[in-house]
A = this chain, B = another copy of it.
Amino acid sequence: MKIQHFADIPLEDVDVEGATKTKIRWLISQKDKAPNFALRMFEVEAGGHTPFHQHEWEHEAFVLQGSGVLITEEDEKEFQQWDVIFIDPNLKHQFKNTGDSMMRFLCAIPHKEKDISKQNPLGGAEVNNC
């Protein structure tokens, strides 16, 4: 069990290709012995964005602060504070901050490897983005 303020959890660069002005905090991960999925917070500065990419796992996201657009292969939709966002597995997507202040959102993903005995530290660089 843990209770921890978000600001006390390390803020790490998201340095994958296609990401800019974006950082991540792994709020809950396999390090906490979470058995099924991880909860991350993304912090995207004004003008920043995550990579336009796709993967086999879904995203369950919640916009804490700021606003932006979600770009997918289908269309482009605006989002605002306290919006809920679900992105299906394999759908190409990108989160873009179109506001003039920090945009923060939560994003939960399933573990790639459920065996917590392996203590995959943070799921690896491949999932260190959204």
Contacts and interface: CB of A to CB of B under 8 A. Distances in A.
Contacts of A6: 62, 82-84
**Chain A, interface size: which category?**
35 or more
B35 A89 contact: yes
28 contacts: A1-B72, A1-B74, A1-B88, A2-B84, A2-B86, A3-B70, A3-B83, A4-B84, A5-B80, A5-B82, A5-B83, A6-B62, A27-B60, A27-B62, A27-B84, A28-B60, A28-B86, A32-B86, A34-B58, A35-B58, A36-B110, A37-B37, A37-B108, A37-B110, A39-B60, A39-B62, A60-B108, A64-B64
Interface of A: 1-7, 9, 27-28, 32-37, 39, 58, 60, 62, 64, 70, 72, 74, 77-80, 82-89, 91, 93, 106, 108, 110
